[in-house]
A and B are shown apart, each in its own frame.
Chain A
């Protein structure tokens, strides 16, 4: 039995001349919610499709619950998947489609119907069970997709963009479902919504143009970088701006509008060279405080008073940093 729920090992996949994934490796711990992030075209859906055995890798391997995904029969019933853009049969009532899915898991018709009714109730679609898909809204279809993914209590669930295109109420419902599923399964979620990933996930991996550019626990990753936003009493002159940028740990300092600025803090850079030293959260917080203290001191010395200062979304800060800086 593998200690990891999902193991991605050196996976490469090309589509014609384009390398969608380039030697990507990471692991997902059991009973966690794992987030997969990346800009458009980063390779998230390709990675999902490989893990779900929809497509095959050129090289490398993907193991789910210790089983190579190419041996999909051994994973039958243990892996649930919400594909991003797959369509259900349009004319078929949703209950009938779902019963068919459960029948493939060797359930009798009454057992399958019971499973389906429970799943539809969990996602709030029990009233619509006899309607064809074409009569459901986008949000309902998404919830139906999630319901089919967790039917039969699989041990690992892959959700590709589960809230894409949903309004806040529907997205919230989906979050609640994912939190409930966490009690019994390992979940891997891909999303563009950084706040969603930060609130849902324990660990994340960030892809950029097919390469893994960041990977780890959300707490750890978000403590590496910070983004701040501050409104000043006036515009900074060029010299004052250079002074600010000279502070060790400030990556950039940009004008957003009128007198509102945004800055990225590189806490690791501030701490200086370390050889194999693991950095704890306390030291990172200290580094953050040091940078902010220097920044405020510099601004106040110039009689440029901050009217407000706000810490930005820290996963967002890290995301922008790794997806724009690194090549």
Chain B
């Protein structure tokens, strides 16, 4: 099934696909969207701190360390509630009778790690699937519709076309996200001066690794949809629905109360990477390994299903 896989072709196809994407403007839109949404998320957390500082320092006075700590604690408490809300809920990995692990997890993110950066990174986590969808829906579907792949089929194997586009899209998405994370880390480090550079950079690198892992199953799913559809619009809508599947069920799960049947519906989010992706920021390394393994499992499954369809479909 995978015969003919050629590393050089994968690189050539991935690079060429990204270059064409930038040239057509679609790639630029993805970068701008990543920055716009990412900076908006960062702004939601950082702006209250900056405004507080500005109010206190209005008369030319510098906020005292106590005042600064109070402001940060207010925001951090808000972020902490959000984090517990996002990560909590009924899951195979949490015990609702014993909330301590969840509290411990939140403490790890808010106390052991730079709290403001944790908040920004976690908020980003919630919008990444949608950003990835916008950047990935057209991996192959446009060229299937225009039959442009027919110029490549005599020159390379379908396996190289499929996985070359997948790798190219993944690398492009990660470069966009990396630039955003670097901007956020440097902004917090330079402007707020509340955390040591070592803390910020190490947590930023961890987040990038987590984003890289979580990007794989999403982009693999979008590859599958892209290779299955012959219309870019249909692929776009399907990918968006795929991106919103997790958050929608997550919300459903949070608001379902104690109705067992509705809770069961909430469990369906674990059929997508959404259900486990937050565990990549867990304090327990075992949970991180479990989440990584599941993300890789989803990636493998989506790639297998997607390529099986692409290998046999009419192009």
Contacts and interface: CB of A to CB of B under 8 A. Distances in A.
Interface in B1-26: 3-4, 8-9, 12, 16, 20, 23-24
A148 interface: yes
Interface stretch (B61-69, B152-160, B283-291): B152-160
Q: Give the 3 A-B CB pairs with smallest separation, nearest first.
A: A86-B147, A83-B150, A55-B314
B146 interface: yes
Contacts of B12: 100, 103-104
Interface in A109-124: none
A105 B314 CA distance: 23
A86 B147 CA distance: 5
B154 A79 contact: yes
A87 B147 contact: yes
Contacts of B150: 52, 54, 81, 83, 86
B169 to A, nearest CB: 16
Given A86-B146, A86-B148, 8 more contacts: A56-B312, A56-B314, A73-B4, A77-B155, A81-B153, A88-B151, A91-B24, A104-B156
B148 A89 contact: yes
Interface of A: 49, 52-56, 72-73, 75-77, 79-81, 83, 85-92, 100-101, 103-106, 148
A90 B146 CA distance: 11
Contacts of A53: 153-154
A143 to B, nearest CB: 15
A43 to B, nearest CB: 14
Contact of A104 (B3, B155, B312): B155
Nearest to B160: A104
A54 B314 contact: yes
A91 B151 contact: no
B268 interface: no
Nearest to A74: B4
Greatest chain A CB density within 10 A among B8, B154, B312, B315 is at B154
| Main SS at interface, chain B | helix
Contacts of A88: 148, 151
B313 to A, nearest CB: 8
Given A52-B153, A73-B157, A101-B155, A106 B148 contact: no
Contacts of A89: 20, 148
Interface in B277-315: 312, 314-315
Greatest chain B CB density within 10 A among A55, A72, A77, A89 is at A89
Contacts of A52: 150, 153-154
B156 A76 contact: yes
A122 B146 CA distance: 27
B151 A101 contact: yes
B3 A54 contact: no
12 contacts: A52-B150, A54-B150, A55-B314, A79-B154, A80-B154, A86-B148, A86-B149, A86-B151, A88-B151, A92-B20, A101-B151, A104-B9
Contacts of B151: 83, 86, 88, 101, 148
Nearest to B146: A87
A145 to B, nearest CB: 8
Contacts of A56: 312, 314
A283 B4 CA distance: 54
Contacts of A103: 12
